[in-house]
Amino acid sequence: MAAKSDVSFSFGVNNAYIMRAGRHFAGSDDPPLPTELLRILTDKSHPQYHARMLDVALPLDDAGYYMLSWEATTGKSWLERDAMGSAYPRLHSFMRFGTTYNTAFGPDRSFFSASPAGYAAQNLPPGLETGITESAATRHPVCVALGREGTYAVVYSNGSYAWQLALGGDSGSGKTLYPELEKMFEKDAQGESEAQRRKGLKYIALDPNSTTQFFALFNDDSVWWDLPQAWFKDIEAALSGWRATRTSTPGPAADGATKSRKWHDLHAEDVSEFVEGFKEGVEMVSNVLSIAGQMNGSG
């Protein structure tokens, strides 16, 4: 079964990025992260100063936009839903129910977000949407990367994974984008890929602004990326901190689990509290209900 990852990566506007690694993080300096996000992460005088991010992502609509859920040093859990703009009402509603994870934004105001109870998305590439729907009875997506020109990669709840990295997506016949990632999936003469040698893909992010940049985490906790060298030092420091502490750092709740965590909406006038976890009654986006058929590759 695919496990949730304590590591995530989001590419934003103008070569911005943020990476979450347990209680550690790395982010771009030029351009800087959104001001309020940076305050929550770095300003110890902030009333909701973070102890650990649970989910974070940068929409591609505006350099000041972000979504965030986090645990504060006060012990309370918080949601920031109103800083991602007005283009994602489904995600805005989905976050009300508590822990999201692996939220990713892509081109054309697409997004994917998972929770212990299910997932929500919009404007997914047609091949990915079809594939998700066709295998809904046996598996569901837990991580989706939305790349340039209809490219994507997906990790499923049963540990399998699939990808389409050809220019133009499933209908395309162009060159392969993100070539260094494609190499990880190519099988050698013995019929095994580097991804398989690393025990399979656990988490993946594609840069929708690029034809090459990506970040991948494998089930042996190794990583592989194509990123600007200027980012390496901060990313490696965050990953080192995470690896040093991960055995004692609790991760998100397991699939299907419910907890009594109370969520505080940062902008609700009465600081509304939301209970994490739900089993029924959530409106999942009709054009995202499930899963996986005619994809270019599978793990």
Q: What is the pLDDT of residues 146-203, one digit of tens each?
A: 999 999 999 999 999 999 999 865 655 678 999 999 999 999 999 999 999 999 999 9
Q: Which of 198, 204, 179 is nearest to 112 (CA)?
A: 204
Question: What is d(CA 43, CA 54) in angstroms, rounded to the nearest whole number?
Answer: 18
Question: What is d(CA 103, CA 120) in angstroms, rounded to the nearest whole number?
Answer: 9
pLDDT score, position 43: 97
Q: Quick check: is 69 in a domain? A: yes
- In sequence order, what DSSP letters do the residues of 117-180 get, joined into one string? TEEEEES--HHHHHHHHHTTTT--EEEEEE-GGG-EEEEETTS-EEEE-BTTGGG--SPBSSHH
Q: Quick check: is 133 in a domain? A: yes
Beta bridge partners of 154: 144, 162
pLDDT score, position 185: 96
Q: Quick check: is 147 in a domain? A: yes
Whether 79 contacts 265, CB under 8 Å: yes
Q: What is the helix (H) or strand (E) element at residue 215, kind and residue range?
A: strand 214-218
Q: Quick check: is 132 in a domain? A: yes
Q: Quick check: is 299 in a domain? A: no
Question: What is d(CA 217, CA 222) in angstroms, rounded to the nearest whole number?
Answer: 6
Q: Quick check: is 109 in a domain? A: yes
Whether 27 contacts 10, CB under 8 Å: no
Beta bridge partners of 164: 152
Chain position carrying tokens 């580097």: 194
Phi and psi at 124, nearest 5°, equal: -70, 155
Whether 167 contacts 175, CB under 8 Å: yes
Q: Quick check: is 48 in a domain? A: yes
pLDDT score, position 287: 32
Alpha-carbon torsion, ordered 77, 51, 141, 253, to 10 deg: -60
Question: What is d(CA 103, CA 39) in angstroms, rounded to the nearest whole number?
Answer: 21
pLDDT score, position 274: 38
pLDDT in tens, 223-235: 999 999 999 999 9
* H-state helical runs in the chain: 35-42, 89-94, 126-134, 179-185, 194-197, 232-245
Chain position carrying tokens 């999201």: 100
Instruction: Give the range of the structural domain holding residue 254, as residue numbers without chain letter.
Output: 7-287
Question: What is d(CA 186, CA 19) in angstroms, rounded to the nearest whole number?
Answer: 27
pLDDT score, position 246: 72
Domain count within the chain: 1
Chain position carrying tokens 């509290």: 273
pLDDT score, position 169: 58
Q: Quick check: is 297 in a domain? A: no
> For residue 117, how many C-alpha atoms fall within 13 Å in the half-sphere facing its CB?
20
Three-state secondary-structure class, residue 56: strand
Beta bridge partners of 139: none
Whether 85 contacts 59, CB under 8 Å: yes
Beta bridge partners of 206: 214
pLDDT tens by residue, the chain, 299 residues? 566 789 999 999 999 999 999 999 999 999 999 999 999 999 999 999 999 999 999 999 999 999 999 999 999 999 999 999 999 999 999 998 768 999 999 999 999 999 988 899 999 999 999 999 999 999 999 999 999 999 999 999 999 999 999 986 565 567 899 999 999 999 999 999 999 999 999 999 999 999 999 999 999 999 999 999 999 999 999 999 999 987 544 443 333 333 445 656 665 533 333 333 333 333 333 333 332 222 334 45
